[in-house]
A and B are shown apart, each in its own frame.
Chain A
Amino acid sequence: QVQLVESGGGVVQPGKSLRLSCAASGFRFTSYGMHWVRQAPGKGLEGLATTSYDGGEKFYADSVKGRLTISRDNYKNTVYLQINSLRPEDTAVYYCARDHAGAVAGSSWYFDLWGRGTLVTVSS
């Protein structure tokens, strides 16, 4: 079964860090780029970060650059998102999404498969 399953969310205090995981199954993980997208409660979607199929290229939205780190482990079929210095405005459902291809620079990207998301709540 082709799927993405996120984990690692929860209630976190402001200023703390958190690492989210996204486990992939049912497809050749090493062939695909991966993305993270978030959605604040009742709000729209926000693109955060992208990693190429081999982890050699990483890209970040300007709004989060410096606080987020995307990484992947192709042996574990898992992509990660490290979020540092959490703020209340980081409260959101965090989705991982598969790219339709390798997500290398200069190619065309889009999200062809989404996980169900994991909720991160930043509150004291």
Chain B
Amino acid sequence: SYELTQPPSLSVSPGQAASFACSGDKLGDKHVFWYQQKPGQSPLLVIYYNDRRPLEIPERFSGSNSGDTATLTISETQAMDEADYYCQAWDRTTAVFGGGTKLTVL
């Protein structure tokens, strides 16, 4: 079965850029989606089709995908961005999620 790997944690200072990595075999051949989940809340789509941003998501969120790694970047991290971030791709008709990266804004 297909697997996606994410580092468990990431810490940044307010105003710094935060980059989240997601790795998988030939991941660049797939579409990657990113979800933000704050404590006690349901996931929220922040990036779809590798690099597209829903209208309600701030411009500081961006994504890329090439080779074996997809990346979500928050350009100027704010305290409100503190959350778990999950990457996701499809293995045929099954949604595969990475284990998630917990972002701490110090």
Contacts and interface: CB of A to CB of B under 8 A. Distances in A.
**A associates with B:** yes
Give chain B's interface residue range (CB within 8 Å of chain A).
20 to 34
B69 to A, nearest CB: 18
A55 interface: no
Interface in A22-41: 35, 37
A115 interface: yes
Contacts of A100: 48
Nearest to A111: B45
A112 interface: yes
B100 A111 contact: no
Contacts of B96: 47
5 contacts: A37-B95, A45-B97, A47-B94, A47-B95, A109-B90
Interface of B: 1, 31, 33, 35, 41-45, 48-49, 54, 86, 88, 90, 93-100
